[in-house]
Amino acid sequence: MLIRYSRWDGSQAVPDLDADDLLSAMSDDLMLDGDPWRALRRLFQQGLQHPAGQRTPGLQDLLKQLRQQRQQRLDRYDLGGALEDIKKKLAEVIQTEREGIKDRLAGTSAEQKLAELDKLPPDPGGQIRELQTYDFVDPEAKRRFDELMQSLRAQMLAPLLKGMQQALQGMTPEDLRRLREMLQDLNRMLRQRAEGQEPDFQAFKDKWGQFFPGAESLDELLAQLGRGIAQMQSLLESMSPGQRGELQDMMRSLFMQDERLEAALAQLAGHLEELLPLDELRRRYEFGGDEEVTLREAMKLMEELQGMDQLERQLRRAESPADLEQIDPAQVAELLGEEAVRDLEKLREIAKKLEEAGYLERRGDRLELTARAIRKIADKALRDIFAHLKRDRFGRHVVSHRGAGGDRTDDTKPYEFGDPFLLDLKETLMNAVERGGPGTPVRLVPDDFEVFRTELSTRAATVVMLDMSRSMINNGLFMPAKKVALALHALIRGQFPRDSLHIVGFSLYAREFTAEQLPTLTWTDWNVGTNMHAGFALSRQRLGRQKVGNKQIIMITDGEPTAHLEGNEAAFAYPPTRRTLQETLKEVQRCTREGITINTFMLDRSPTLTAFVREMARINRGRAFFAAPERLGEYVLVDYVRNKRRAVS
């Protein structure tokens, strides 16, 4: 099979991320607080990187696209054009009527009709009000005016009555009667809801459901009506004060010939204000473009912008897979395009893939990491740390002595009695030739034998003591420390399976944790104080049970001891008391007498911590390091491996 490689240009197909990639992307967040829900939320928000370099956008990326789409519309359009379009059509009606008067009337009659037109108000609302009672002379002018009124009424009512858009365009007197009856029933139902009663929505739906498609309950109907009235109010809010006044006056004029309809609509608006949070739905949009729109286009624009607002609220509030399922793909496609729908679908699949791979499991309403997931996270921590070691030219496990057993090296040495007989035949023959000269047969003597050197691999028991005090967590140091402990666990499990590793967390008290518990370790009420005394005592107990020659404690801390044990109770004081320091150093002496080496990795260079660790190292003969959090794992793992591979002559 031929494979062609080329520079990424966006057209190549990228395979979907598998569960291992997803868990890897979440691992640091899981190590931070151990909560799969929070790690998933951050993944949903930020998206994730493919191993090949491509990136799956997150909700923040979709929000950014949404804001850009909104801003493009605001920068393009001018709502003032909606009124100008109506004024232009009214001017055409009046001009047609003027020409008709001149053609059909003469003398005083013509002058009187023209005088009526001259007295019309300059604003569109006033003209609509007067022309509705005006007796037209020209049939074409009358037709144009009636069509304009029907169109404007339909546009005003369409946001509220989406299922009646066709009927609103050519409304007959019978249609108006049914509209008033429907509004009367609707207002009665909303009044009952406002009074705490439970209206008969099903009866209303059976009678008028065709006008409200998609509304399967009163709450859904209210939401639909609320979006509609909010569109109109947003349009008004987004206009200048002068434009707003003209449009409101025009809207009042449209229904002045039917007072009952006007009253029913006003009553409906009042009920919706009472029952819905309209302040959250309506919004003023700052338009700055110069492209004019008609009123119909302006209403459509309001619908799009409010759809964007609704989608933005959903994207902002999405915290779980169930929240993502509530987002309508059709709306995303309409506002952001099909690619955004595919990105949303990938985010929806994340939790499902992790569960199917056995990395997450549901327990009631909770998601928990499985043991398999924790092993994977530990392996990644180990890979991450050794990746740095490789780049920084660390990790050459130099030893100062040669071994007599264990793993073979590439170096050779003359054979000595007791060495494993790992013969280097080439060097052995060359030694004989150099001694006896060319020719055959080649005769060997004991001094000719060359054997491969070996390293002695020892068993070790280790306790990692993790400072869990509040300062470690508040300063962001606890997550790197947990990551190192997991990496050591993975290293020992994979390469030194006969070794043992214990993990002891200490703050006010000390407790032992398993590697499986590490990702979920977070701050608790007992994370006050730094009780090294308790930590060393518990570590000494655990190591005392081990029948091995090498016992060590690796302590990771950012502060001097501020607590010690008095019997079974912890005594805390800051600044630390002399007794706390003395009791802690006594426990260091006990560890030393039992052959336990203490190596300390300091994450802070404060004079008090430095002085205390120096005294501890003097007593124990262990080593002390200052390590930046981001390089802590490199030092700990290099140190562990260097001490693990011990060669003897």
Among residues 480, 452, 450, 486, the alpha carbon closest in space to that of 467 is found at: 480
- Alpha-carbon gap, residue 345 to 285, rounded angstroms: 30
Where is pLDDT greater, at 603 or 542? 542
pLDDT of residue 523: 60
Mean pLDDT is highest, among 30-34, 188-192, 228-232, 303-307, for 188-192
Query: At 93, which amino acid appears?
Result: V
Q: Quote the CA–CA distance of 394 and 10 in Å, as a whole number.
A: 38
Q: Indicate the DSSP class of residue 475.
A: T
Residue 316, number of CB atoms within 10 A of its CB: 12
How many residues can be counted in the chain? 649
What gap in Å lies between CA 188 and CA 595, rounded to an integer?
A: 87
Can you list the domains of the chain with their CATH numbers?
16-47+318-360 (no CATH), 78-160+208-310 (no CATH), 407-455 (no CATH), 460-644 (3.40.50.410)
Cα separation, 10 vs 53, whole angstroms: 11
φ, ψ dihedrals at 363, nearest 5°: -130, 95
Q: Which of 39, 42, 43, 46 is nearest to 61 (CA)?
A: 46
Count of CB atoms situated within 10 Å of the CB of 601: 25
- pLDDT value for 504: 93
pLDDT in tens, 391-420: 444 333 333 334 344 555 667 888 877 677
**Do residues 425 and 465 make contact, with C-beta atoms less than 8 angstroms apart?**
no
Sort 394 into a burial class: Cβ within 10 Å, 0-12 / 13-18 / 19+. middle
Of the candidates 107, 111, 112, 129, which has an alpha carbon nearest to the alpha carbon of residue 120? 129
Assigned token pair, 161: 């009555």
C-alpha–C-alpha distance, residues 613 and 585, integer Å: 10
Beta bridge partners of residue 460, listed in sequence order: 550
Q: What is the pLDDT of residue 34?
A: 62
* Contact partners, residue 635, CB within 8 Å, separation at least 6: 601, 625, 627
pLDDT tens per residue, range 133-177: 899 999 999 999 988 888 887 777 776 665 455 445 556 777 778
Interval 239-249: pLDDT, tens: 888 888 888 88
**What proportions of the chain, in percent to the nearest 5, are helix, strand and coil?**
60, 10, 30
CA–CA separation, 287 vs 79, rounded Å? 7
Query: How many CB atoms neighbour CB 537 within 10 A?
Result: 21
Contact at 8 Å (CB) between 209 and 164? no
According to the per-residue pLDDT averaged within each range, which of 31-40, 519-528, 612-621 is highest? Answer: 612-621
* Cβ atoms of 447 and 486 closer than 8 Å: no
Q: Determine contact, residues 376/22, Cβ cutoff 8 Å.
A: no
Report whether pLDDT(462) > 90.
no
Rounded to whole angstroms, how far apart are CA atoms 288 and 76? 7
Residue pLDDT, tens place only, 474-498: 777 787 788 888 888 887 777 777 7
Give the per-residue pLDDT at 47.
Answer: 77
Which has more pLDDT, 455 or 56? 56
Taking residues 353-372, what's their average pLDDT?
73
Lowest mean pLDDT among 277-286, 424-433, 618-627: 277-286
Q: What span, in angstroms and rounded, lies between the C-alpha atoms of 565 and 122?
A: 90
**Gap between the Cα atoms of 233 and 284, Å rounded:** 9
Residue 359 has pLDDT above 50, yes or no: yes
